[in-house]
Chain A
Amino acid sequence: MPPGESDAQSQHGASSVRYEGATKRYPGAAEPAVDELTLEIPAGEICVLVGPSGCGKTTAMRMVNRTVEISSGDVLIGGSSVREREPAQLRREIGYVIQQIGLFPHRTITENIGAVPQLLGWKKDRIRERSAELLELIGLDPELGDRYPAQLSGGQQQRVGVARALAADPLVMLMDEPFGAIDPINRERLQNEFLRLQAEIRKTVLFVTHDIDEAIKMGDRIAVMREGGRVEQYATPAELLMAPANEFVEDFVGADRALKRLALMRVGDIDLWEAPLAYVGQPTAEVRTKLAAPDVEVPYPLLVDGERRPLGWLSERDLAQAVVPQRPDSPLGPVLEPDDVMRDALADLLQGQSQYAPVVDGAGRIAGVLSVEIISEFLGSPEAKSDEQPAVERPHE
């Protein structure tokens, strides 16, 4: 189903969420768990609440659906106070995903996904349709609908958890470390799937994690919190990495934040190099002439076919022959695409022990060459290094 026709598009949209001096005091605790939190999350964005354990991020998130009662202050969804709503009714309009998933073990997958629609009194046919549609949306075989949660893998269960939260088209989604209990490979996959899903459904998402890498990957905005739910910085991931507001944020983001910026970039975002191209059967003299040009960026000729699809790199030995051979001496190594995340591209380069990797377009045609040098130049550029300037300005450093 093309995205435009999907029923997921028929959602009644998303609402902004605004914290207004929201405070949570637990009886007997000396300090409030969340102290006067004020924060605005625009509709349709993913806002990640990140911070060390005990910083109040989960408490803050739970104020939105009143699974934690607000002591003072308020939380507004689309301008209206959650405190004036009947809690159970309010929660049915808010998607809720938790780390331990919490699927109902005694209900089938279809019944689990249909839980909130059932509470809202939807007709049976409509619930079944919606469940099937969501199974498809999260990429699960519709036949799994009749299974019980125990028959699914952890990753599949958490996909169902997300589907269940989306079932009644919530205005807001709360996600509390949703991928925290999933193994790293599946976590990455689930993160990517959710981002793809979010690009389609555009919900307002409050996403809690303690993992800064996950925050950078998932967030449109990130609120870095410390004890008492105090927001130390609220910014886009790029801003956070380039200009941490203070030492706490800097420490939390980590010393490798320049490297982390690579996670925010794609190969296509950077100016690529051009390699001298060589074709099978071409006289090597021509290739040598190209190589000798003063402005050559990549010192190795790339062998391509008639469609300009890369085949391999030519070595000195290949060039010693009269014409370009059909089989180049050096293997092609990693091949990248413009959509690849820069950090993964660098990993591929290091893994392949190669300096250069061809970047190809959708049809497999050469679009440029990425080199380790380009990346290191980027990391050394003022743009990436600007994070070092505030450090100089701080008096105690």
Chain B
Amino acid sequence: MSSPFLLAAGEVGGDFFRERDVGDLCQAQRGHVFCWDWAQENIDRFGTPTVQHLQIVVPAILIGFVVAFALALLSHRTRWLQPPLLAATGVLYTIPSIAFFFLLLPLTGLGRDTAIIVLAAYTLQIIYRNTILGLNNVPAAVKDAARGMGLTPRQILWKVELPLAIPEIIAGLRVAVVSTIAIATLAVLISAGGLGTEMYGSNLTFPTSIIIAAAIVMLMALAFDAILLLVQRFTTPWRRVAQS
């Protein structure tokens, strides 16, 4: 609680920890892992952080996807752009998340925008790389046939290459979504809210709220993953029959 780092963060970010009044509820259970009584009494307090979490995660993924997808299309035609773009997005991906948050503070200030920018930047590498991979994996013969039949380059891209790259693109999105939802718990450090608020500053002898917040994060990740999986199934019916 009194680590210099958290203090510093606290000074910058103000009141980003929410008070948890354990009261008498779990006196008997102090030291135990989970307090059901407290959980039942306090479940409401997780609603707002969950919504905030979604408000960070969803825009971050959408922005990350749009930017990475645009970069992929750009470098699909202009092949020599691929290595530098892979390197650049790769460098972004290696910046430690806490450092990234604080480094952006002077530019974008405290709050949700900074969190969205950081998280979007993290998704670029995986979405870009997988989209490029998916486009590059389209069999040359299919592209040759498409060209020979009179599809224009634009038609080849949208009617042949991108549909065939869907599995790889969605695979990238799934990884990006799960990691974004997890890293978004750090947004609390720059006063952007989210489920991190229910994790930090906890009394370490009373981890109940951490467990609940983590469970919500995990459920959210699983739900997004399931949705993406469903999207893939519906957009790639040919893959199912090929596998059967």
Residue of A nearest to B242 (CB): A150
Residue of B nearest to A67 (CB): B148
Task: Tell me if B151 is interfacial: C-beta within 8 Å of chain A.
Answer: yes
Task: Tell me if A104 is interfacial: C-beta within 8 Å of chain B.
Answer: yes
Give which listed residue, B139, B140, B147, B164, contacts A91 with CB less than 8 A: B147
Task: Tell me if A103 is interfacial: C-beta within 8 Å of chain B.
Answer: yes
Task: Tell me if B80 is interfacial: C-beta within 8 Å of chain A.
Answer: no
Task: Tell me if A65 is interfacial: C-beta within 8 Å of chain B.
Answer: yes
Task: Tell me if A233 is interfacial: C-beta within 8 Å of chain B.
Answer: no
A106 touching B164, Cβ below 8 Å: yes
Q: Which residues of A contact B145 (CB under 8 A)?
A: 96, 98, 101-104, 161
Residue of B nearest to A116 (CB): B149
Instruction: Give CA–CA (A91, B144) in the complex, Å.
Output: 12
Which residues A82-106 have CB closer than 8 A to chain B? Answer: 87-92, 94, 96, 98, 100-106
- Chain A nearest CB from B164 CB (Å) reads 6
Task: Tell me if B5 is interfacial: C-beta within 8 Å of chain A.
Answer: no
B139 touching A102, Cβ below 8 Å: yes
Give which listed residue, A91, A100, A150, contacts B150 with CB less than 8 A: A91
Query: Known contacts being A100-B139, A102-B142, A106-B236, is A174 close to B241, with CB within 8 Å?
Result: no
Task: Tell me if B9 is interfacial: C-beta within 8 Å of chain A.
Answer: no
Task: Tell me if B163 is interfacial: C-beta within 8 Å of chain A.
Answer: yes
Q: Which residues of B contact A65 (CB under 8 A)?
A: 148
- Chain A nearest CB from B102 CB (Å) reads 45
Main secondary structure of the interface of A (DSSP, over half): mixed
Task: Tell me if A37 is interfacial: C-beta within 8 Å of chain B.
Answer: no
Q: Which residues of A contact B140 (CB under 8 A)?
A: 100
Residue of A nearest to B142 (CB): A102
Residue of B nearest to A62 (CB): B148
- Chain B nearest CB from A91 CB (Å) reads 4
- Chain B nearest CB from A214 CB (Å) reads 20
Instruction: Give CA–CA (A89, B149) in the complex, Å.
Output: 9
A91 touching B242, Cβ below 8 Å: no
Instruction: Give CA–CA (A151, B238) in the complex, Å.
Output: 9
Instruction: Give CA–CA (A87, B145) in the complex, Å.
Output: 14
Instruction: Give CA–CA (A116, B148) in the complex, Å.
Output: 10
Query: Known contacts being A102-B145, A106-B236, is A88 close to B150, with CB within 8 Å?
Result: yes
Main secondary structure of the interface of B (DSSP, over half): helix
A106 touching B141, Cβ below 8 Å: no
Q: Which residues of A contact B151 (CB under 8 A)?
A: 88, 115, 119
Q: Which residues of B contact A174 (CB under 8 A)?
A: 148
Task: Tell me if A147 is interfacial: C-beta within 8 Å of chain B.
Answer: yes
Instruction: Give CA–CA (A161, B237) in the complex, Å.
Output: 21
B150 touching A116, Cβ below 8 Å: yes
Q: Which residues of B contact A101 (CB under 8 A)?
A: 141, 145
- Chain B nearest CB from A257 CB (Å) reads 34
Task: Tell me if A300 is interfacial: C-beta within 8 Å of chain B.
Answer: no
Q: Which residues of B contact A150 (CB under 8 A)?
A: 238, 241-242
Task: Tell me if A148 is interfacial: C-beta within 8 Å of chain B.
Answer: yes
A96 touching B149, Cβ below 8 Å: yes
Task: Tell me if B92 is interfacial: C-beta within 8 Å of chain A.
Answer: no
Q: Which residues of A contact B144 (CB under 8 A)?
A: 67, 98, 100, 102
Most A C-beta atoms less than 10 A away, residue of B143, B149, B242: B149
B150 touching A119, Cβ below 8 Å: yes
Query: Known contacts being A88-B151, A88-B152, A98-B141, is A104 close to B241, with CB within 8 Å?
Result: no
B141 touching A105, Cβ below 8 Å: no
B149 touching A115, Cβ below 8 Å: yes
Task: Tell me if B182 is interfacial: C-beta within 8 Å of chain A.
Answer: no
- Chain B nearest CB from A87 CB (Å) reads 8
Instruction: Give CA–CA (A102, B138) in the complex, Å.
Output: 11
Query: Known contacts being A148-B242, A150-B241, is A106 close to B149, with CB within 8 Å?
Result: no
Task: Tell me if B12 is interfacial: C-beta within 8 Å of chain A.
Answer: no
Task: Tell me if B71 is interfacial: C-beta within 8 Å of chain A.
Answer: no
Task: Tell me if B211 is interfacial: C-beta within 8 Å of chain A.
Answer: no
Instruction: Give CA–CA (A88, B142) in the complex, Å.
Output: 16
Instruction: Give CA–CA (A98, B139) in the complex, Å.
Output: 13
Give which listed residue, A98, A100, A116, A151, contacts B241 with CB less than 8 A: A151
Give which listed residue, B150, B155, B164, B236, contacts A89 with CB less than 8 A: B150
Q: Which residues of A contact B143 (CB under 8 A)?
A: 102
Task: Tell me if B160 is interfacial: C-beta within 8 Å of chain A.
Answer: yes
Task: Tell me if B63 is interfacial: C-beta within 8 Å of chain A.
Answer: no
- Chain B nearest CB from A32 CB (Å) reads 22
Q: Which residues of B contact A96 (CB under 8 A)?
A: 145, 148-149
A104 touching B148, Cβ below 8 Å: no
A105 touching B147, Cβ below 8 Å: no
- Chain B nearest CB from A160 CB (Å) reads 11
Give which listed residue, A105, A147, A151, A165, contacts B164 with CB less than 8 A: A105
- Chain B nearest CB from A210 CB (Å) reads 18
Q: Which residues of A contact B67 (CB under 8 A)?
A: none
Which residues B99-135 have CB closer than 8 A to chain A? Answer: none
Q: Which residues of B contact A89 (CB under 8 A)?
A: 150
Q: Which residues of B contact A88 (CB under 8 A)?
A: 150-152
For the complex of A and B, 3 pairs with smallest distance between CB atoms: A102-B145, A100-B141, A96-B148
Interface residues of chain B, those whose CB is within 8 Å of chain A, are: 139-152, 155, 160, 163-164, 236-238, 241-242
Interface residues of chain A, those whose CB is within 8 Å of chain B, are: 65, 67, 87-92, 94, 96, 98, 100-107, 115-116, 119, 147-148, 150-151, 161, 164-165, 174
New A-B pairs, 10, CB < 8 Å, besides A98-B148, A100-B140: A67-B144, A67-B147, A88-B150, A90-B150, A92-B150, A100-B144, A104-B142, A119-B149, A148-B238, A148-B242
